[in-house]
A and B are shown apart, each in its own frame.
Chain A
């Protein structure tokens, strides 16, 4: 708890300091609000740091600590999500989404091939239909959907 608060207070302080320095360059009153916020955040983060160092028993209890396996599985999900978002433009929404659902399901240990592929294709197809045909809202152009001429 102490380590968490010490680290986060330093990050918040540095962030606020950076925001304060940048705000000094704005004129016409535009600097007033961000500068005020930065000062409040610096004071709050300094108070948090001092509390962690001098009065650790006053820190309210936080969420339970994750074990190593939980941390690694969440890290895997985050990495796959970032990869998915990065692949939407080159592959298109439908292809990237189907790939993402399939890959993450296998990566998390699911082995029901039929359920995985049916859900991936059916769900993405339904979503594509809803956006493009019902709401008339385009989704990022797709490689496979383009080839199929849908």
Chain B
């Protein structure tokens, strides 16, 4: 294992990979700084560009975007009191008061270093925790792999939204899309309606780009007025890079936030991780009264936890092939495009890819110190001045070019536009989008393993139920589904007690 880890480190040291990491990190910071964009849209737009690249530079670029956008979200949060990403909401609580005290540069600098600490610790956890888990997963047969996929889909459907039913319908819709085309066991065509372009199935990239980039781009116009009036105040903020923190003052916040971020990354539903980390950092702080008024520790905890779940969220993706978040689902798609099947066998068959990607996550987190600190406050903060009216068509043009170039097919562009419309309708009807993508990327694998299991047992469904690991996975799936049901019941009781008030806000 250690030989593979160090061999991958040497393989990463090429000019192409280093340039990809720097470009990806800069791009990620800029995208994260633009409210409404962030890592998911950035990675969805970048994936088609990686077709022509080697696997390591491609993954290095995406790792840079992933880590960069975590820190980029802090720029508008600190300068404009406007979170660039959902995780940056907590950053505004102490970041904006610091900017008002004339410490904007120092606050951005601290946010970059906190992200670097959280991101690199998270990547190290991926390097250390993933291989043993992959070793266990290698012993899984088709019935266990089928249940792992069901567990992954159920987890995302149940935890990445606030409505279990809608989450399940969205996941089933994704599984349906994966069933379009030639059945790879019997050779029957399914749902192709005589269209030759659908025989090989619907292009995953087209669906991903369509659903993750078009609806957010169209919705950008909703926040245009708010953002443009906030940007006007930017000229009045003095950005001076001065050191406003000491390691002794923030190490407790970093330790607590990194631990919470890593654990929350492994388990989906990490939208609340920043709130938990902020509260815990306040609890262990020697100056809890400063929280919310420009606390250095509060800002350090908020930014550290944002990056600490980046790499750890990929542990289930790389070891079991089960993504637990939007970005993890996109990364799974990116690996498939490069010809690698995520799962335990990847650690055996292509260790240089898994560990190379893990190293890219370490290095791009560390790159945040020079790129996300002084440079972000002087240069990247200016991306906030780009008018939304110009940003919207640029995103759509990049998405169209990327989707076309992925397979030289105009049909894929039409598919992306169609799924963009479907995504917009889903958002309007409060359906989550992430389960669709996860259903799509896991669908073929889940179906294949179900069919192989039934062939192994000559059609006896008992093979799916009476094996020890299957039983454990079934119990875990039931628990995952029962948890939101219990939460809904509690919420309903609270609302009833409050006379209809006090519901949970939607998360998309």
Contact = CB atoms under 8 A, between A and B. Distances in A.
Interface string A41-64: 100110110010000011111110
**Interface residue tally on A, bucketed by range:** 35 or more
Nearest to B439: A37
Interface string A70-89: 10011001100110110011
Please give me the 8 A-B residue pairs with the lowest Cβ-Cβ distance, nearest first. A28-B186, A62-B430, A135-B52, A30-B188, A30-B183, A61-B503, A108-B389, A137-B405
Contacts of A101: 390, 393-394, 397
A104 B176 contact: no
A68 interface: no
Interface of A: 4-5, 7-8, 12, 19, 22-23, 26-30, 32-34, 37, 40-41, 44-45, 47-48, 51, 57-63, 66, 70, 73-74, 77-78, 81-82, 84-85, 88-89, 93, 97, 100-101, 104-105, 108-110, 115-116, 119, 123-124, 127, 130-131, 135-140
A138 B52 CA distance: 12
B504 interface: yes
B396 A84 contact: yes
Contacts of A131: 401, 405
Interface of B: 49, 51-53, 162-163, 165-166, 168-169, 172-173, 175-176, 179, 183, 185-188, 190-191, 214, 217-219, 221-222, 224, 387, 389-390, 392-394, 396-398, 400-401, 404-405, 408, 410, 413-414, 417, 420-421, 424, 427-431, 447, 450-451, 454, 488, 491-492, 495-496, 500, 503-506, 508
Contacts of A59: 163
Contacts of B222: 66, 70, 73-74
A13 to B, nearest CB: 10
Given A51-B165, A81-B218, 5 more contacts: A22-B191, A61-B503, A62-B429, A101-B394, A105-B390
Contacts of B397: 97, 100-101, 123-124, 127
Contact of A77 (B49, B191, B221): B221
Q: Which of B393, B394, B414, B500 has the most CB of A within 10 A?
A: B393
Contact of A60 (B52, B405, B503): B503
Given A8-B429, A135-B405, A136-B52, A23 B168 contact: no
Contacts of A61: 162, 503-506
